[in-house]
């Protein structure tokens, strides 16, 4: 399964990485690694994850308090639409296509 990213996701990841890197050297890179592993797991079994709305699903990151929103686009593509902190407003990023 292929993975595509909404343009805003790159900025979100950079902001989160920089935040963690300021707190502890290497933690930002650990976040990115964890994110990439979670995306690979999600792409392998996209139907496994909880449905949030009609076509948006979410998966929780294991080590960090972040949620990855994604949607399935066709038979062989998922699109990561948002990465949000679990304490951020629940509607954040859900309207992205």
Q: At residue 12, does pLDDT exceed 90?
A: yes
- Each domain of the chain, given as residue ranges in start order, spans 2-85
pLDDT of the residue at 8? 95
Quote the pLDDT of residue 93.
Answer: 74
DSSP letter at 4 equals E
SS3 of residue 47 by DSSP: helix
The CATH class that applies to domain 2-85 reads alpha beta
Tell me which of 90 and 72 has the higher pLDDT: 72
Contacts of 13 (CB under 8 A, 6+ apart): 32, 35, 83
Q: What is the pLDDT of residues 22-80, one digit of tens each?
A: 999 999 999 999 999 999 999 999 999 999 988 999 999 999 999 999 999 988 999 99
């Amino acid at each position: 399964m292929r993975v595509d990213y909404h343009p805003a996701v790159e900025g979100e990841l950079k902001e989160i990485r920089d935040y963690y890197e300021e707190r502890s050297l290497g933690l930002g890179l650990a976040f990115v690694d964890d994110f990439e592993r979670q995306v690979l797991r999600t792409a392998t079994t996209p139907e496994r994850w909880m449905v949030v709305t009609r076509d948006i699903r979410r998966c929780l990151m294991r080590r960090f308090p972040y949620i990855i929103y994604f949607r399935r686009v066709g038979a062989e593509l998922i699109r990561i639409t948002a990465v949000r902190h679990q304490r951020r407003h629940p509607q954040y990023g859900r309207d992205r296509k």
